[in-house]
Amino acid sequence: MNFLFFFIEDGLGIVAKLSECISSRGGNILSVDVFVPENKNVFYSRSEFVFDLNRWPRAEMDADFLKLSKLFNATRSVVRVPSFDRNYKVAILASKQDHCLVDLLHGWQSARLPLDVTCVISNHERGPNTHVMRFLERHRIPYHYLPTSKGNPRDGEVLDLVRDTDFLVLARYMQILSGEFLESYGKDIINIHHGLLPSFKGSYPSKQAYDAGVKMIGATSHFVTEELDAGPIIEQMVERVSHRDNLQSFVQKSENLEKQCLAKAIKSYCELRVLPFEKGKTVVF
């Protein structure tokens, strides 16, 4: 399956031209989602179509779409087409809590997630006999233990390790990445926050929620920006709590939500369903 994501600031006739282009190359459209926000001059489209690589080589497809975007005199156009020959290269950053890390590794192994895990980076050391370390060893995935401290975030070392990735996943990574890192890395970083943003930003959101006496708790998956826990939200999931839940069960319920929420966000992202929208928001087809 192939995807085309067009973000063009001119809506007139685009769906027509897009489809005509695909058809003329022998492609067959399987699904199209088009979204034009009210009163705006932007246009989001995601098409799934099948085609014959022999009839429409990648280089020609790139050229065709580039021509199309120029045709519309677009001030800004972005075309994303997934690669066909490899999965997404991703590095996973984690700290002490490993429920999300483990779920992602299993998701990778069972091909539930279309990833290529290049390495795991952690500021927490794990013994060689732990499930994670044995798993990584068996699958020859490097584990980089980079202990950090207040004056030594070691961003530069992390950057060197992840330059070659398509995106990063912060799986309960408790170290804040600096603005310089974000700028240098330049690609997307997906984080899981164990609270229902914008409530309970920062540390110990489960304790914050417990003290606030809420009756619903949640997890949020979002893109990382320089402001902590404030980047565009991709996915959120919730669960009920009551007075019978103590802090421990708040945490257990939260961990279950975090795993599902992060995996879902990553899956949507890899399927090119997630697009930046307005200021600080996302379209998720």
Would you name the residues annotated as active-site residues? 229
If one asks whether residue 35 binds a second copy (CB under 8 A), the answer comes out as yes
Give least dist CB 130 to a second copy, A: 11
Q: Which two tokens stand for residue 271?
A: 């399927």
Among 53, 198, 202, 207, binds a second copy (CB under 8 A): 198
Q: Which two tokens stand for residue 198?
A: 């914008």
How many Å apart are CA 79 and CA 3, to the nearest integer? 10
Task: With both helix axes pointing from N to C terminus, report the angle between 205-212 and 247-270 in degrees, rounded to the nearest 10.
Answer: 120
Give least dist CB 15 to a second copy, A: 4
Among 25, 29, 64, 157, binds a second copy (CB under 8 A): 29
Q: Say which DSSP state 259 is in.
A: H
Dihedral sign, Cα of residue 19, residue 20, residue 25, residue 28? positive
Looking at the Cβ atoms of 43 and 185, the one nearer to a second copy is 43
**Of residues 54, 49, 2, the one with CA closest to residue 27:** 49
Give least dist CB 187 to a second copy, A: 21
How many Å apart are CA 191 and CA 183, to the nearest integer? 16
Using the contact rule CB under 8 A, the part of the chain among 57-65, 83-91, 180-188, 232-240 near a second copy is: 232-240
Contact footprint for a second copy (CB under 8 A): 11-13, 15-20, 22-23, 28-38, 45, 102, 106, 109, 131, 134, 138, 196-200, 211-216, 218, 232-238, 242-244, 246, 256, 260, 277-278, 280-284
